[in-house]
């Protein structure tokens, strides 16, 4: 009989603990809910905004000078409609080593045929397969920010052996 009294006391004790924890969790969730900011914002900011016209791409097929060593060359032609996916890469149909003679396009760099460790591959490295990750077409638009870049030759620095 003593065992029954003990189990009743334990079950009452457990009931109090569960009730206390429930109240604490409820109070905590109410406190957290009061700290979350309103995410909808003022209703007047949802008006219509006039979109800027789409920029015109520079498609003169003239290779542009690079601004710094190892800069990926820009794309001097239109790539609209080019498929660039895991299954197809239209860029490689002209720029891959074996197709450049027929297309007249510049060959992609030999670095595109290397692994991270510098080992040569027979085909384009998977990490260099998505061309537009580095190479971009140019649009005829106003710069977003001012640019004060000056080439070293404009700063009076001469080439070694110059003059």
Residue 54 has pLDDT above 70, yes or no: yes
Tokens of 70: 């190892």
Mean pLDDT over all residues of the chain? 81
DSSP 13: H
Cα 86 to chain center, whole Å?
A: 17
Q: Which residues contact 65 (CB under 8 A, 6 or more apart)?
A: none
User: How many angstroms separate the CA atoms of 123 and 92, rounded?
Assistant: 11
d(C-alpha 124, C-alpha 112), whole Å? 6
pLDDT at 125 over 90: yes
The pLDDT of 130-148, averaged and rounded, is 89
Going by pLDDT thresholds of 50, 70 and 90, the confidence category of residue 45 is low
Condensed to tens digits (0 to 9), the pLDDT of residues 17-44 reads: 877 877 877 666 655 556 666 666 666 6
Mean of the pLDDT values across residues 60-81? 87
Q: What is the assigned CATH class of domain 56-144?
A: mainly alpha
């Amino acid at each position: 009989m003593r065992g029954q009294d003990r189990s009743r006391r334990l079950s009452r004790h457990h009931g109090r603990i569960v009730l206390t924890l429930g109240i604490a969790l409820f109070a905590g969730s109410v406190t957290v809910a009061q700290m979350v900011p309103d995410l909808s914002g003022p209703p007047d900011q949802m008006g219509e905004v006039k979109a800027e016209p789409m920029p015109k791409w520079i498609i003169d097929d003239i290779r542009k000078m690079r601004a710094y060593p190892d800069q990926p060359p820009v794309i001097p032609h239109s790539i609209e409609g080019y498929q660039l996916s895991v299954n197809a890469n239209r860029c490689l149909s002209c720029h891959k080593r074996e197709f450049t003679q027929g297309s007249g396009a510049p060959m992609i760099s030999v670095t595109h045929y290397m692994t991270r460790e510098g080992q040569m591959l027979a085909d384009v490295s998977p990490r260099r397969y998505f061309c537009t990750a580095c190479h971009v077409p140019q649009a005829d638009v106003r710069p977003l920010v001012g640019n004060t870049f000056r080439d070293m030759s404009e700063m009076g620095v001469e080439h070694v052996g110059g003059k």
